[in-house]
Amino acid sequence: MVLGVSGGIAAYKACELLRRLKDDGHDVTPIPTPATLGFVGETTWAALSGKPIRTRVDEDAHLVPHVTMGRAADLVFVAPATADLMARVAAGRCDDLLTATILTATCPIVMAPAMHTEMWLNAATQANVATLRERGITVIDPAEGRLTGADTGPGRLVEPAELLLHARSVLADPEVARSAARQDLAGVRLVVSAGGTREQLDPVRYLGNHSSGLMGFAIARAARLRGATVTVVAGAVDHEPPAGCTVEEVVSTADLDAAMRRHEADADAIVMAAAPADFTPASRADGKIKKDDESSRLQLDLVQTPDVLHGLAQRRDASSTSATGTRRTPLLVGFAAETAGSVEALTDLARAKRRRKGCDLIVANDVSGGAIFGAADTSTLLVDEERAIPVAGDKNVVGHRIVDWVSSQQSAD
């Protein structure tokens, strides 16, 4: 792949991205623009990539590098993409090696912008972004946060760890790039829950589970890339939420239930990827529960927590206008973590849970032996009213397949 780097202060983050891409097993050729070398020098790019660095088309002209690299690449990933770089690409200019390579590339092209807020929001930049997307180029909206100096706002380069996940998704399935360029979920309001919940026993202990939040975050990341407005309701998670999402943190299943009630009325689709605890202590100890030297047992009185997914379905159906032919909203996607033992058993369990919960799609996992939780890869069945579709691989790619289903339902309206 080609890693394009344009001349902005965020170029230093591309060094980390280059290292992460190489550690991930990719053959990466960096192409900095001439302006980039004023921020990060040629020696750094050569040392990190192990390759000679070119910035101009006339360097090693007998090799015609812009054509050979553009034809050979599986992905051209530009990070950071400055306002100037995007304007030149939108205009079809090729006044350095990077822009010339982009013009010859037939593979997916992804750009991760970074600039000051005023530059990002400027009408000219937004028009250039629209032009690039119309031409099939994926543009990742920048994050909001600290910029140069004391300034903050939208325009910050998405962190390298997250950019790596986008690169993985596009390399695994080029259709991801096409969907992102089309912004097929623009205007869709999506709420995603992620992670586990914690039910307090005393001030220091809780009941919980092994959910890491990776799958919920992958779905949120995919939907945000494709234009959706995304709210993430996050319980206990092991990772940072995706850039560009509104995040509400919760602790217990009761907290999760209350948050979903607040968001359901404004949502077009809800994905319940969280793993809420099914039971909670009937009462919480005010102080730390001490060991009793006279007994080797601790007895707990547990009560069931609210069934968040089923409650969403019940409230939706109670106010549904489906009798007039209008699709029920919001769409509901549930998850089923089962210890099934076989694909057939998992399918049966998923279909039964879909009917019991009243949701539109169930994403079923076989978690026998602790599989799936916290892992980068997953193996699932997407079960709706008609089909049971096996989907496996990196969770970010699976996230796009789930978002595909949501997009297909929105398109059917």
Q: Which two tokens stand for residue 385?
A: 């009213």
Exactly one of 128, 209, 365, 396 is catalytic; name it.
Answer: 209
Give which of 198, 238, 246 is closest to 220, Cα–Cα. Answer: 246
The span from the CA of 338 to the CA of 216, in Å, is: 17
Give the annotated binding-site residues: 278, 288, 306-309, 335, 353, 357
Active site annotation includes 209: yes
- From CA 241, how far away is CA 55, in angstroms rounded? 35
Burial 383-409 (b: 16+ CB within 10 A, else e): bbeeebeebebbbbbbbbbbbbbbbeb
From residue 22, give the alpha-carbon distance in Å to each of 4, 49, 53.
Answer: 15, 8, 16
Q: What radius of gyration do the chain's Cα atoms show?
A: 24
Q: Which residues are annotated as a binding site for CTP?
A: 278, 288, 306-309, 335, 353, 357
Q: What are phi and psi of 112, to 5 degrees?
A: -115, 100
Three-state SS letters, 147-173 = CCCCCEEEEECCCHHHHHHHHHHHHHC
Distance CA 79, CA 195 (A): 29
What tokens does 355 get?
A: 């009917």
Write out the two tokens for 412: 């059917």
Question: Could you give the CA distance from residue 344 to residue 347 in angstroms, rounded to a whole number?
Answer: 5
Dist. CA 28–CA 37, nearest whole Å? 18
Around Cβ 247, how many Cβ atoms within 10 Å?
15
Q: What are phi and psi of 364, to 5 degrees?
A: -105, 135
Long-range contacts of 205-209 (CB under 8 A, 24+ apart): 205/288, 205/289, 207/277, 207/279, 207/280, 207/281, 207/302, 208/236, 208/277, 209/275, 209/277, 209/373
Count of CB atoms situated within 10 Å of the CB of 31 = 26
Spell out the residues 6+ positions from residue 392 whose beta carbon is closer than 8 angstroms to its own.
Answer: 377, 378, 379, 380, 398
List active site positions. Answer: 209
